[in-house]
Chain A
Amino acid sequence: MSERPEVVYTVATQNLEVVEKPLAAWAKLYESGAVRKTVVLIALAAAWELYARWLANPLLVPTFSATVRALFDATASGALPQATIYSVGMLLKGYGAGLAIAALLTALASATRIGADLLETLTAMFNPLPAIALLPLALIWFGLGAGSVIFVLIHSVLWSVALNTFAGFRSVSPTWKMVGQNYGLSRAGYIARILIPGAFPSILTGLKVGWAFAWRTLIAAELVFGVSSGSGGLGWFIFERKNQLLIADVFAGLLTVILFGLAVETLIFNTIENRTVRRWGMQS
């Protein structure tokens, strides 16, 4: 048997078939998450409209178009924007205070072992406790006003943020930690420039979960006792309109709660996510 001959080919560099081809217009549209989600939303609104028309009982389920009209009217009259602004202001105060306390607890937990035990124990105790359950107690301590709402908001934000941040710090790659030490960074520089970016996926998760808890706690708390010093938030708006049997307005209030939640999720958190963890390849 003779040895097989060696073969050398030349590689074509010109006149190749398709290497990269732009997608068709509809394929591009389908690739966009926003477009796909809009289609889903339109389908849901259509189903709602059809069901409400078929039911024909505006006291139980008003139609989508009636809800949109009510939303428009309440916005034009200024009642809904005022309630939203009040709620958002309250939310920011509670969320901010919760984050500050979470940062303090996490710093303590990262610095000392007893601090870590404290954080873990407190979180295990209070995280499963619904914020609303604390409302009666808050009423006794802080009275019928902003104080008690902020108290329950802090409770709903604090534990998820502190727990996620601390877990994130602990899961930062040991290699990055060694790299940071290798540069001779100061303690503060090490935390700010290695630990926090390294733990950012977890921190962001904590912020998102904390925000969602805070928003729903706030609306629920306002439903229970909305009026304080003459103005109420979105929860109170919903409760009040229900008492007046303005069900389309109730739906409009709920829709506002949902829309605001969606807006924060997509405009704020998704933007942060796209510019940080996605871009860095830490999350796909």
Chain B
Amino acid sequence: MAQAAAAPLLSVEGVTLRYRTKDHLVTATYRVSFNLFPSDRFVVLGPSGCGKSTLLKAIGGYIQPTEGRILLDGAAIAGPGPDRVFVFQEFDQLLPWKTVRENIVFALRAGRKMPREQAQERAMHHIAKVNLTEFASSYPHTLSGGMKQRVAIARAMAMEPQILLMDEPFAALDALTRSKMQEELLQLWEEAKFAILFVTHSIPEAIRVGNRILLMSAHPGQVRAEVNSRGVDDPDASGKLLSARIHELLFGGGAQEGFAHV
């Protein structure tokens, strides 16, 4: 892709993130830099403890970096806002006191100040896209985990953010549902080509969802590599599978077998 010519949509420049626990000062990420371009499906992949979720929260504007800066469209991020919509891992991200449709309408009216009629219409459009039309008037607690995540994705897409921030959105789903959701996400992306920043700890998921994968090492989180993916676990010129290359980069050489297939 001719991305090098275009300006990055999001640039993370030497970002160090620290937070304080009761008796420690923890460095979650150390001088992390990368660029995300429009229409990227950018995956941040790393073992637990590499600070990938903290990094995503900093991009979401919930935490300020102690060092470095994060630019969205050239402007520094000041706080949370509807131009970067989150899809969380937790199933409780939908507000339980609102139905599926009301959840999306509320997001549109609170975040984008949209008139009610238009918000209703757009909510139904996106509910239909994730095949939940018959559940539009249901309350979230009556839905299954996968359905809740679909609503969260529909809500995020309805808000038409500049970037969709996805924090291990499918991690709490069963394997069959997860695979189906990955497929659906890619279909939705094909239609709208929105920019996604997707955090995961699963190598197969990273390869399937991403077109560009940022590999991070743990304690503290540092960038190990950036690799490309075409959506399948292809062998490269030397005949090595992409998953094997990623595994080697993350965990060092040697152990080719037995990495987590989660």
Query: B80 and A184: CB pair below 8 A?
Result: yes
Closest residue of B by beta carbon distance from A179: B93
Q: Which of B67-107 contact A (CB under 8 A)?
A: 79-82, 84-86, 88, 90, 92-93, 95-97, 106-107
Tell me how far the C-beta of A54 lies from the nearest C-beta in chain B, rounded to whole angstroms: 52
Q: Which residues from chain A contact B62 at a C-beta distance below 8 Å?
A: 178, 181
Query: B88 and A175: CB pair below 8 A?
Result: yes
Quick check: is B111 within 8 A (CB to CB) of the other chain?
yes
Q: Which residues from chain A contact B96 at a C-beta distance below 8 Å?
A: 280-282
Which of A182, A189, A279 has the largest count of B CB atoms less than 10 A from its CB? Answer: A182
Q: Which residues from chain B contact A44 at a C-beta distance below 8 Å?
A: none
Closest residue of A by beta carbon distance from B85: A182
Q: Which residues from chain B contact A166 at a C-beta distance below 8 Å?
A: none
**Stretch among A1-9, A193-201, A212-220 lining the B interface:** A193-201
Tell me how far the C-beta of B173 lies from the nearest C-beta in chain A, rounded to whole angstroms: 16
Closest residue of B by beta carbon distance from A181: B80
Q: Which of B81, B92, B95, B139 contacts A184 (CB 8 A)?
A: B81
Quick check: is B129 within 8 A (CB to CB) of the other chain?
no
Query: B93 and A193: CB pair below 8 A?
Result: no
Quick check: is A276 within 8 A (CB to CB) of the other chain?
yes
Quick check: is B169 within 8 A (CB to CB) of the other chain?
no
Quick check: is A173 within 8 A (CB to CB) of the other chain?
yes
The docked-state distance in angstroms from the alpha carbon of A281 to that of B92 is: 11
Query: B110 and A281: CB pair below 8 A?
Result: no
Closest residue of A by beta carbon distance from B113: A184
Q: Which residues from chain A contact B111 at a C-beta distance below 8 Å?
A: 182-184
Which of B82, B84, B97, B142 has the largest count of A CB atoms less than 10 A from its CB? Answer: B97
Q: Which residues from chain B contact A279 at a C-beta distance below 8 Å?
A: 139
Quick check: is B60 within 8 A (CB to CB) of the other chain?
yes
Quick check: is A47 within 8 A (CB to CB) of the other chain?
no
Tell me how far the C-beta of A251 lies from the nearest C-beta in chain B, rounded to whole angstroms: 43
Q: Which of A161-207 contact B (CB under 8 A)?
A: 173, 175-176, 178-179, 181-185, 189, 193-194, 197-198, 200
Closest residue of A by beta carbon distance from B141: A281
Q: Which residues from chain B contact A182 at a C-beta distance below 8 Å?
A: 60, 80-82, 84-86, 111
Quick check: is B140 within 8 A (CB to CB) of the other chain?
yes
Closest residue of B by beta carbon distance from A279: B139
Contact A173-B110, Cβ < 8 Å, known A182-B81, A182-B82, A281-B142: no
Contact A179-B86, Cβ < 8 Å, known A193-B110, A282-B96: yes
Q: Which residues from chain B contact A189 at a C-beta distance below 8 Å?
A: 110
Q: Which residues from chain A contact B90 at a C-beta distance below 8 Å?
A: 173, 175
Tell me how far the C-beta of A235 lies from the nearest C-beta in chain B, rounded to whole angstroms: 39
**Residue interface bits A256-281, CB-to-B below 8 A is 1, else 0:** 00000000000000000000100111
The docked-state distance in angstroms from the alpha carbon of A276 to that of B107 is: 20
Query: A183 and B107: CB pair below 8 A?
Result: yes
Tell me how far the C-beta of B166 lies from the nearest C-beta in chain A, rounded to whole angstroms: 13
Closest residue of B by beta carbon distance from A186: B110
Q: Which residues from chain A contact B60 at a C-beta distance below 8 Å?
A: 178, 182
Which of B61, B107, B110, B111 has the largest count of A CB atoms less than 10 A from its CB? Answer: B110
Query: A197 and B110: CB pair below 8 A?
Result: no
Q: Which residues from chain B contact A280 at a C-beta distance below 8 Å?
A: 96-97, 139, 141
Q: Which of B61, B81, B84, B92 contacts A176 (CB 8 A)?
A: B92
Q: Which residues from chain A contact B107 at a C-beta distance below 8 Å?
A: 183
Contact A183-B110, Cβ < 8 Å, known A178-B62, A279-B139, A281-B142: yes
**Residue interface bits B138-181, CB-to-A below 8 A is 1, else 0:** 01111000000000000000000000000000000000000000
Closest residue of B by beta carbon distance from A174: B90
Q: Which residues from chain A contact B106 at a C-beta distance below 8 Å?
A: 183, 193
Q: Which of B109-132 contact A (CB under 8 A)?
A: 110-111
Query: A194 and B80: CB pair below 8 A?
Result: no
The docked-state distance in angstroms from the alpha carbon of A281 to that of B88 is: 20
Closest residue of A by beta carbon distance from B93: A175
Contact A178-B88, Cβ < 8 Å, known A184-B82, A197-B95, A280-B97: yes
Contact A281-B140, Cβ < 8 Å, known A182-B81, A183-B107, A193-B110: yes
Tell me how far the C-beta of A240 lies from the nearest C-beta in chain B, rounded to whole angstroms: 47
The docked-state distance in angstroms from the alpha carbon of A185 to that of B110 is: 6
The docked-state distance in angstroms from the alpha carbon of A182 to that of B96 is: 17
Interface residues, chain B, CB within 8 Å of chain A? 60-62, 79-82, 84-86, 88, 90, 92-93, 95-97, 106-107, 110-111, 139-142
9 A-B pairs with CB atoms under 8 Å apart are A173-B90, A175-B88, A175-B93, A178-B86, A182-B60, A193-B106, A276-B97, A281-B140, A282-B97
Q: Give 5 new A-B contacts, CB below 8 A, not counting A183-B106, A276-B97.
A: A176-B93, A178-B60, A181-B79, A184-B80, A282-B141
Interface residues, chain A, CB within 8 Å of chain B? 173, 175-176, 178-179, 181-185, 189, 193-194, 197-198, 200, 276, 279-282
The 9 closest A-B pairs by CB, nearest first: A281-B141, A183-B111, A181-B80, A280-B96, A183-B110, A197-B97, A280-B97, A175-B90, A184-B81
